[in-house]
A and B are shown apart, each in its own frame.
Chain A
């Protein structure tokens, strides 16, 4: 049996484990070098999900936790494609998002920021990409919030995004930022990424063509996962 390997992950493009200005990384970053593994089936296979795993409102954060009405905030559509480094769409893959509410508060027992919980907003959603790799969520724009790093750090508005692909070694969690936010350039978590082009790639563009007129504004955010090589490796028993 043959399986296509993945392109090597570009470790100069991703944030390193240790980034002094993001203080929590100091004690949570390995000191030894990562051991580089050539891919085997353990890395090249991965879980799959089906439509039976989801409910119709799972990708609608305006409705999926609403109790008495819509959540407060700027109504937005977030849409885009999941692609691989070869530019091919990644169909039927799980995309999960989570975010603060419009005031910058998370529905989490560990978040104690003074901005109020919104009774109509849960703050998470999930969906499968379609056969062209497209996904869409409806939500409210998250607020900026303060966090303990330096005394006066504020996260830019962001949505956390988790994506699978087809191989466990493609697994990725990142964050989506919003075009025009002046906090992006000041954030130590954003600046853990060493390459400005990689940062720009995480900033969703305002997409007026995708708005719902008189209802919701739209942002487009494409996500790129590692690509597969066109050559294959052998994992037959020796002598076959």
Chain B
């Protein structure tokens, strides 16, 4: 026998289920209950930088849209500062929730384009949004990142994109740029499967 280490174990994940909206976005479930629903506004009114729109669809292994997914976004501001790590604009939360249209499965949200953030060992990370996906059929939330198609130079040096061994799979993490609009589809399984991270 040896001494016990006495660490606790993390509570095991369970699927968010089909009715995740009741808890996290009740307006989408069809009712109003809170004075202010959390996660509706990522940036607040005072955020500096480029205002952008991100659209896309999450698809499953059969190619069908995942209409009941809920996506959380976490990002730095345009200066590359995460809330809690330094001064950000008043009202900039850097976090939001995205629910697609229940009929089409298409999602759309607005934010500002984040700046570069310092990564490990002094290597800058290209601008990116951190995404976390939960839904019915997802047993433990899926982490991924969205990079920007108009940041080729920064993306080429990005330490995380460069961890992806197969170069063509890096493309699954890069949104197509069209002016201030970006298109980013997420594929849970199969051809073009998005790279997901164990963070």
Q: Give residues in A with beta carbon < 8 Å to B.
A: 1, 7, 9-11, 13-17, 19, 22, 24-32, 34-43, 45-49, 53, 55, 58, 64-65, 83-87, 94, 96-98, 106-111, 122-124, 126, 160, 162, 166, 168-169, 171-175, 189-190, 192-193, 195, 197-199, 201-202, 223-227, 233-240
Q: CA A239 – CA B60 in complex, angstroms?
A: 45
Within 8 A of A (CB), among B75-122: 76, 82-85, 93-95, 102, 117-122
Q: CA A84 – CA B11 in complex, angstroms?
A: 10
The dominant DSSP class at the A interface is loop
Q: Are the CB atoms of A110 and B142 closer together than 8 Å?
A: no
Residue tally, chain B, CB below 8 Å to A: 79
Expressed in whole angstroms, the minimum distance between the Cβ of B25 and any Cβ of chain A is 10
Knowing A55-B34, A175-B14, the reply to whether A98 touches B20 (Cβ < 8 A) is: yes
Q: Could you say which residues of chain B place their CB within 8 Å of the CB of A43? A: 130, 199
The one of B7, B31, B38, B136 in contact with A86, judged by C-beta atoms closer than 8 angstroms, is: B7
Within 8 A of A (CB), among B22-74: 22-24, 26, 29-31, 33-36, 38, 60-62, 64, 66, 68, 72, 74
Q: Are the CB atoms of A84 and B8 closer together than 8 Å?
A: yes
The one of B9, B30, B33, B82 in contact with A45, judged by C-beta atoms closer than 8 angstroms, is: B82
Q: Are the CB atoms of A35 and B195 closer together than 8 Å?
A: yes
Expressed in whole angstroms, the minimum distance between the Cβ of B76 and any Cβ of chain A is 8
Q: Are the CB atoms of B12 and A174 closer together than 8 Å?
A: yes
The residue of chain B having its C-beta at the shortest distance from the C-beta of A240 within the complex is: B122
In the complex, whether B175 has a CB less than 8 A from a CB of chain A is no
Expressed in whole angstroms, the minimum distance between the Cβ of B149 and any Cβ of chain A is 19
Q: Are the CB atoms of A35 and B132 closer together than 8 Å?
A: no
In the complex, whether B16 has a CB less than 8 A from a CB of chain A is yes
Residue pairs across A and B with CB atoms within 8 Å: the count is 270
Q: Are the CB atoms of B18 and A110 closer together than 8 Å?
A: yes
Q: CA A193 – CA B196 in complex, angstroms?
A: 20
Expressed in whole angstroms, the minimum distance between the Cβ of B30 and any Cβ of chain A is 4
- The 8 lowest CB-CB distance pairs between A and B, nearest first, are A98-B23, A24-B137, A47-B95, A28-B137, A15-B139, A34-B198, A45-B82, A238-B122
Q: Could you say which residues of chain B place their CB within 8 Å of the CB of A107? A: 22, 29-31
Q: Could you say which residues of chain B place their CB within 8 Å of the CB of A16? A: 139
The residue of chain B having its C-beta at the shortest distance from the C-beta of A173 within the complex is: B16
Knowing A110-B102, A160-B20, A237-B118, the reply to whether A37 touches B198 (Cβ < 8 A) is: yes
